[in-house]
Amino acid sequence: MILAAVALVLGYSATVSCSSIDALPVAPSPGLNSSRPSGSAATPRPTTPGPGETVPGIQLIAVPHRDGSFDMTENVMLPAATDILPLQLPSSGDHLPGMMARTTPRVTNLKVVADDQSVPIENTTVTAPGDLPLTVSATRIRLTYTLSGSAVIASPSTSTRASAAIKPLTSAAGGALPTDVTVTTGLLNAICPLLTETRCAVGDPPILGIQSGIPASKALVVLQLDLPR
């Protein structure tokens, strides 16, 4: 009788332990810099509804830093596969206002994944328009990079206020592609000088966003920011 009770208790404990393990959250997919053995199956990344993720378009996420630079993530979904990706920086030709027209945007540390395959890049710095050849003909492309030189920080130097121009590096890949732009912190206002209605901020501070579905060819956004301290 005692042995049967012990066995019952042990069996119950094992069942609870297995249930607890099953209930633990699943670890996220490996990041862009994670390596995976050649030939192994690609791990699908989580997707959020919208352009660049579940429908053709571009999703641009900008993380501002105190020096006025940005960590950028660009998710692109094309309606047809391509093996050449045109790249284009914000420039004075984009009708940037005032002092913004004299900025010199620069991309560094560019990394590209095309249809879950890492694309080898000879020069990871971009300072002018150009074409990036892909190793596969792809419809889904992800870029990560640092954007610098596109911001004007207000005086005095201790101020955290700044203006900055951003747009998708891949905006020339499809001018009509709907584009969603997200600034993760500090957004005070947003102007889209290439749109007929130029003010493209939506919502109210501190919960302020940028109009969704902007055509890629017009997705230049001039930000008013409170930079991280």
pLDDT (mean) for 154-167: 84
Q: What is the predicted pLDDT for the residue at 125? A: 97
For the chain, what percent of residues have pLDDT higher than 90?
Answer: 63
- Which single residue is written with the structure tokens 């297995």? 18
Q: What is the predicted pLDDT for the residue at 25? A: 35
Q: What is the predicted pLDDT for the residue at 52? A: 84
pLDDT in tens, 64-76: 999 999 999 999 9
Band (pLDDT 50/70/90 cuts) for residue 93 is low
pLDDT of residue 91 exceeding 80: no
List Cβ neighbours of 118 (8 Å cut-off, separation of 6 or more): 111, 112
Q: Which residues pair with 143 in a beta bridge?
A: 74, 112
* This model's pTM is above 0.85: no
Contact 50, 27 (CB under 8 A): no
pLDDT of residue 26 exceeding 50: no
* Tally of CB atoms within 10 A around 56: 17
Residues in the chain: 229
Phi and psi at 40, nearest 5°, equal -80, 160
In the chain, where the domains are located? 57-226
Q: What is the predicted pLDDT for the residue at 28? A: 35
- Ranking 29-38, 79-88, 217-226 by mean pLDDT, the lowest is 29-38
Q: Which residues pair with 228 in a beta bridge?
A: none
Average pLDDT, the chain: 81
Q: What is the predicted pLDDT for the residue at 44? A: 43
Match domain 57-226 to its CATH number in 2.60.40, 2.40.50, 2.40.160, 2.40.360: 2.60.40
Q: What is the predicted pLDDT for the residue at 35? A: 37
Q: How far is the first Cα of the chain from the last one, in angstroms, to the nearest whole number?
A: 68
Contact 201, 190 (CB under 8 A): yes
Q: What is the predicted pLDDT for the residue at 51? A: 83
Band (pLDDT 50/70/90 cuts) for residue 229 is confident
pLDDT of residue 17 exceeding 90: no
pLDDT in tens, 178-221: 999 999 999 999 999 999 999 999 998 778 999 999 999 999 99
SS (H, E, C) 36-82: CCCCCCCCCCCCCCCECCCECEEEEEEEECCCCCEEEEEEEEEEEEE
Q: What is the predicted pLDDT for the residue at 158? A: 65
* Tally of CB atoms within 10 A around 179: 29
